[in-house]
Structure 1
Amino acid sequence: MPTRKTLSAEDWISAAFRALGEGGVQAIRAEAIARDLKVSKGSFYWHFRDVPALKARMLAHWQHLATDAIIRNVEAIGTTPLAQLQALVIEATGVPSSAYGGDRTESAIREWARHDATTAAILKSVDERRLAYLVQLFRKCGQSADRSGTNARILYGALIGLEILASQDLADVRASMLELLAYLLGENPAGRTSPG
């Protein structure tokens, strides 16, 4: 059985993400997470002052893993902007780690942000960063500033919507996103005419 000395803060953060994905923000409770980890609640206080401190660390962790790390991975490819856009879609549509709540985490954070101003501010910052990065990549592909902004919003909005559909087994997020990306870049994957 793990003890407070064998569990790291990251173990608690992972367990809190699993709780978030399964039961929403109200499921992030020290006692319930301790029970899930099979340790005493006292172990929680070894790492965190209180539940709000855990939630703050969760959001910082999510911001890093779901945005900063993905951008760093895409930048490391170092090839063409088109290859980076494709890599970004593949990274963003990869199977989320079950250690961090799996594919329900992002939508659970969006729901959390509807009721919490701090979470809403962090989510807005993440959305702005992601959109800015998409705009940058579309610009590097030779699109105008206006077209890049529009295409970034379309692609990002589609990702959010397709993730909801996929949670109901109604969409293949990666395939749909790659097809949409090709369309937005004027590649006409299904023989359609795309706007210039």
Structure 2
Amino acid sequence: MFTGIIEDLGIVTRLEHEQENLHLTMQSSITHELKIDQSVSHNGICLTVIQIKDDTYTVTAIKETLDKTNLGHLKVGDQVNIERAMKLGDRLDGHIVQGHVDQTAICQSVKPVDGSWVFTFEYDTSLNNITIEKGSITVNGVSLTVVDSKLNQFSVAIIPYTYEHTNFNTFEVGTVVNLEFDVVGKYIKRLYNLNTAS
């Protein structure tokens, strides 16, 4: 379980394919605090630490994860939003984030707005995911509030701190991002669909 509050920007130092799996080696300032078998969110994807060496650690993504996320787009040198699992009893500063990406989206626009930025993303509606105005959304692991909700599109406003401390500062039109929709909203939509089908 995560909160969507990013702790560090990790750097991809190695990408190694093994059959259909991808091993990602990351350099991070929090590596010394990690341990083998620990869950860490990478651009919103919960992955398990399998190796630690000096200031780098390695995680593995399986085919299903690669198919549903933007991990396959990563290159050596890319920045990745990193968050460790939340501690029981800590403040929930973002919202409840599972680390299970629902689908990807494509950045449609980046607009500077007098000290902040508005990012607009478009996603495929065939998976029946939805956003609502002022609802929560996770983009590349970052907990955000939807400011403009449409059928297949939404926008978020990014403050300077978030822009500087996450990989939002690398986004441009066409950038593929990971989305995790609000878990409460997903349950409500599922219940609604079951009730209307019966």
* TM-score relative to the length of structure 2: 0.23
Which protein has the larger Cα radius of gyration, Structure 1 or Structure 2? Answer: 1
Bigger relative contact order, structure 1 or 2, given CA contacts below 8 A and separation 6+? Answer: 2
Task: Return the structure number with greater helix share.
Answer: 1
Task: Return the structure number with greater strand share.
Answer: 2
* TM-score relative to the length of structure 1: 0.23
